[in-house]
Amino acid sequence: MSFEHPNSKGQDIRDVERAIMARPAEHDSPNLDLDRMGMMLDLLGHPEHSFRVIHVTGTNGKGSTARMAEALVRAYGLRTGLYTSPHLERINERIAIDGKELSDEDFVDLYQQIEDFIAMVDDRFAQQGRAPMSFFEVLTAMAVWAFADAPVDVAIVEVGMGGRWDATNVLDGDASIIGPVDMDHMQWLGDTVEQIAGEKAGIIKPKSTVIVGAQPHEDAVMPIIEQAVREQGAPTLLRDGNELEVVSRMPAVGGQVATLRTPQGLYKDVPIDKFGEHQAHNALAALAAAETVIPVNGALDQDLVAEALSQVRIPGRIEQVRTSPTIIIDGGHNLNAAQSLRAAIEENYDFKQLVGVISMMADKQVEDYLGILEPVLDSVVVTENSWKGRVMPAEDLERVAVRVFGPDRVVRRDRMPDAIQTAVDMVDSEDQTGVGYGRGVLICGSFVTAGDARTLLAERPNPDLAKPKAERA
């Protein structure tokens, strides 16, 4: 993707990222509304009307579902835009065109194209004594502008948090996906699962095909979603376990094979390149959404579906990044995510020894999260990730972990590089064969933790190997 606007201000990606991330968090705004986004889209000429939209919310599975839906739509030759959050390592990850994240140069150019409009919105709201655009509103505006400029046929957009007042809710989803609804972000979304469901149901629009994933609190959540469907006059409601079904599934090398049913047809033995039953249900929701926006009558082509879902890469979601020993990274941070992680490990691995490296945010249900993972972890190394403003201090996390695991199974290392090395040393010391078979390290607790670990464990080529032999000598 290329933008014509010159890099006249001499900014690089680090300057732009600092400028964006220095803005207030969306949920910290005293004016929780869509007014700033509405004004921005007015100034830009409503670019959001130039493409179809798959809008994805839910407590867990949003990013995975969005990436699967994008792959399915792109497999049909349609041009796609993908907007996800949070980013793990690079801010560019959040915006992708045709499956490729923006380059540093394109990201900077994109920001500069709408920078003056951002200032206009900020000035207008400052005159009213109201908050400026949040960092997430700026990123969302950038994504919408990039998708219109490309132009894309379909934008797949992941909600940042909640739904009703999320910056992405200025978009009208042709398909509105609501994944599992559970307790998370309670300080902003509500203290009950019913309140949280009400916020997430806010993405339902009058012309939406509403796709609802398997619900851990079905009796509490479904009446709220169904009421929103009726109030909005949405024409179609597709529910996992009713109109949609994971007919069967079985583990396979690198993931699983599942048979999926939608009202359009039966998709037999679809390879899904991710572990865990929850990913089969994410694939089902993505498939139903793709059927909504792809201009094909009836079921999609079985071979294209299989090709798309077999190649989806989802960083930081039960992601195996090393062998000997096995190292798995997972960014999930709530109880539903911990349950899915544990189930996937129990189903797909046969560890003789598994050591956890854990860092979590202080506002999470830390003790309950650790309690879910306790049966699959022999010991844990507690540490801190790089988000110093929110991360639970290692000494506090150690106290919680000792209550769950006992003092003999808990080690504390204040720096993550030291924590990872300690965990690897712990499994290596028990490995009599020297090949790491049956032994692993699980790094988890937060997407920031996952991003830090991916950066630390990234394989980097030895520069000496690129030199001519004579020069190396």
Could you read off the pLDDT tens digit of each residue along the chain, which spans 473 residues? 333 334 445 689 999 999 999 998 876 655 679 999 999 999 999 999 999 999 999 988 899 999 999 999 999 999 999 999 989 999 999 999 999 999 999 999 999 999 999 999 999 999 999 999 999 999 999 999 999 999 999 999 999 988 899 999 999 999 999 999 987 655 556 678 899 999 999 999 999 999 999 999 999 999 999 999 999 999 999 999 999 999 999 999 889 999 999 999 999 999 999 999 999 999 999 999 999 999 999 999 999 999 999 999 888 999 999 888 999 999 998 898 999 999 999 999 999 999 999 999 998 899 999 999 999 999 999 999 998 888 999 999 999 999 999 999 999 999 999 999 999 999 988 766 655 578 999 999 999 999 999 999 986 655 554 555 454 44
Q: Exposed, middle or buried by CB within 10 Å (0-12, 13-18, 19+), for 123? A: exposed
What pLDDT, on a 0 to 100 scale, did the predictor assign at position 434? 56
Please report the beta strands in 277-336, taking only residues with DSSP state E, as ranges in sequence order: 319-322, 326-330
Give the end-to-end CA distance of the chain in Å, rounded to a whole number. 42
H helical segments located in 45-162? 62-75, 104-127, 135-149
Note the pLDDT of residue 2: 32
Q: Give the separation between CA 121 and CA 128, rounded to whole angstroms.
A: 11
Burial 274-293 (b: 16+ CB within 10 A, else e): bbbbbbbbbbbbbbbbbbbb
- Give the whole-angstrom CA distance, residue 27 versus residue 33: 10
Judged on CB neighbours under 10 Å (0-12, 13-18, 19+), 231 is: exposed
Closest alpha carbon to 305 in 319, 279, 284? 284
- Alpha-carbon span 441 to 427, nearest angstrom: 8
Contact between 71 and 99 under an 8 Å Cβ cutoff? The reply is: yes
Fold of 13-309: UDP-N-acetylmuramoyl-L-alanine:D-glutamate ligase (3.40.1190)
The residue written with tokens 């691995």 in the block is 349
Which distant-in-sequence residues (6+ apart) come within 8 Å of 263 by Cβ? 238, 243, 244
* Pairwise CA distance, residues 175 & 73, whole Å: 13
The pLDDT value given to residue 428: 87
Q: How far apart are CA 14 and CA 21, in angstroms?
A: 10
- Count other C-beta atoms under 10 Å from residue 139's C-beta: 25
CATH 3.90.190.20 for the 319-457 domain, yes or no: yes
Q: What's the pLDDT score for residue 346?
A: 95
Which of 83, 91, 86, 96 is closest to 54 using CA atoms? Answer: 83
* One-letter identity of residue 362: A
Alpha-carbon gap, residue 441 to 437, rounded angstroms: 12
Count of beta carbons in the 10 Å neighbourhood of residue 296: 12
Tokens encoding 1: 């993707």
Q: How many Cα atoms sit within 13 Å of 100 on the Cβ side?
A: 9
Residue 413 tokens, joined: 């290392």
> For residue 206, what pLDDT is reported?
96
* CA atoms of 350 and 353, how far apart (whole Å): 9
pLDDT of residue 254: 84
Q: How far is CA 267 from the centre of its chain?
A: 25
Distance CA 75, CA 70 (A): 8
So where are the chain's domains? 13-309, 319-457
Measured over the CA atoms of residue 142, residue 39, residue 119 and residue 137, the dihedral's sign is: negative
CA distances for 402 relative to 339, 414, 421, angstroms: 20, 16, 21
Amino acid at 275: F
User: For the residues of 303-317, what is the DSSP string, one character each?
Assistant: HHHHHHHTS---TTS
Return the pLDDT at 378. Answer: 97
Quote the pLDDT of residue 210.
98
Contacts of 69 (CB under 8 A, 6+ apart): 54, 56, 156, 175, 177, 285, 286, 289, 290
What are the b/e assignments for 411-436, b being 16+ CB within 10 Å? bbbeebeebbebbbebbeeebeeeeb
